[in-house]
Structure 1
């Protein structure tokens, strides 16, 4: 099977500039790249589609290149944003760049990393305008959807120039790294075609082998944006989103969403996915597809050892045996719980309301009456306890359990 057929059955091609060139690039084991701008110190699950796309191309014999935009990150992509990005300091960009490069290296083995600041940073303004700017017609740029949609609301020349910078990135990699394919989300189509058109203008329309491929935006079945929860983004950095919460995020997807995501985001083949979906339909309560999705992605991002820990924590949380886990796992569990800081002279009741374990003292009394709330594995029997009356665990922690599987942490300061 070719990479083209692989992407087609998975529904992973939104637009492609030239299918024949893609197949030729595969035959010649050319390079493929996609870019990640260092706008934060971690990538999130919204980036997983592109990370996994690089791995797919690598598995089909392409040389995969991850371009972390140390240069373009200083500008900001205007694509369909309602206002200008806030420019980051050089220090913050460097911190983000180093964090993302380290993160990607831990996830994808055998991928080459590039920083476009290495070549964009060498241009003077005059040089860039002479060597690159002269090849871009203003009317051509104004027809780019990402630019046209911003003209009425305001667009600085800084962001207006972004598509030229990205086009030059593709040209630089095309000439120096035999990179024939650029990948991007569907909102990047204008930038990708700027690159293929620019390369065509430089090497000749009859000689160019450049191809751009966009993938669909990852949306939920209801059309809402994927990767956001009530508590915020789901990060790939375990210090920002715990491995347990990452695992649970995938485990809690709906049947419809999980059946789409397992095609988009895992390496199960077509027959394996059909069997998983069929098994799931016969035993929906066992959530076979969600479990396969959660295990595959947690292993891909965090590794088998962290996946095993997440599964043990899941068993501990949902079977009520968290205090039977070893100390290191309980410490990991604590990182996954809603937590607040409290003082010794505070009442436990007020602290439980503050951490949102209960809504009111009246509700707390109902939980106490039904013996449904505990602290450090001790059933709570009265509401007038002070934090000082409770012996903490792990030096300064109080673990609250409400019902069968809701946990909270009070950290004594």
Structure 2
């Protein structure tokens, strides 16, 4: 096959430029072999290689703001993903030589010796270009940024790029054990940001938060930068929005917890447990990071949220036993003048809806184990778990005993209920426990 005509190659180049990063990476890997490629595919590979090189450099140059342009970002500070591409195209028109130098710097980057000064200069140039509208591509990038938090805001973020870039690299240290040296570096960065513009601190911390897997941990960074302030003081500063957003997020997660019902299904239980887990972590982050007062602006609200969380979790956990009693129903028989005992009721087939409800609540019971201690409902969870295990074990033993009797009451129904018990065992314990129940049922 001959090389692709220029018109077709232009189409390929346009398609590759529009493809997501993962698609470009996958395509480059597929075309990486030197053997077995005809002239046309070699030409396509060259196009993909150029695009991959462009994206690596662009991502490195704009690392301080790239998380703010991530697809699906929902934070207070966000810009369309295509903004980065427009900015890079504008920079190549404005300073082609420096962009080419950035390609070489990124390709030969050495963590020990390479300095990001050129990358920071390009960010500052991009910020000024956005503000001035120096060429058509900057104007187009500004229009894209205005679909998000605004071109002016993005321009200011780019002015902070040098400080943000170094701070992002230090995030793992700042999130670990606090030392005087770590705190000093953060406070120095905080002061440098304030020197650039008095109202830039929120933009700086938003840029850092966008790079955190657990965004609520930005409160720890802010508190370290401000030497662990009180909640009342922080709530009076321009950084109050971070605390207010976290409190609002806790409220939304608590609302989900309160609206949870036994009809939510196992997936709903897992989603609710995850919401509860994050809410607990956010509350703990407040308590660890700030000097809270029970009468403080946020302290009073946090106390109420913690109480609401524990009460809602305990109410759902108390419902576990009731749900199991409907999935594995019992009937009371008299064993003596003063002795009553509950034995499996086999007068009807198992109710799939009741079984699903029990599975849902048992799923919530299991999924909340990581949150129970910090969430203040560990005792309620332990009690619910103990009751559930005892009920399940007794039901399985009594049903098997009935099956092994000379005249079992309803053997087929008994086995059907043992299958329900096996499903509950899988949730409450594990798949091996469920298989053991099934094997015992088959052998009875």
TM-score (norm 2): 0.25
> Higher relative CO (CA 8 A, sep ≥ 6), structure 1 or 2?
1
Pair member with larger Rg: 2
Higher normalized helix content (fraction of residues): 2
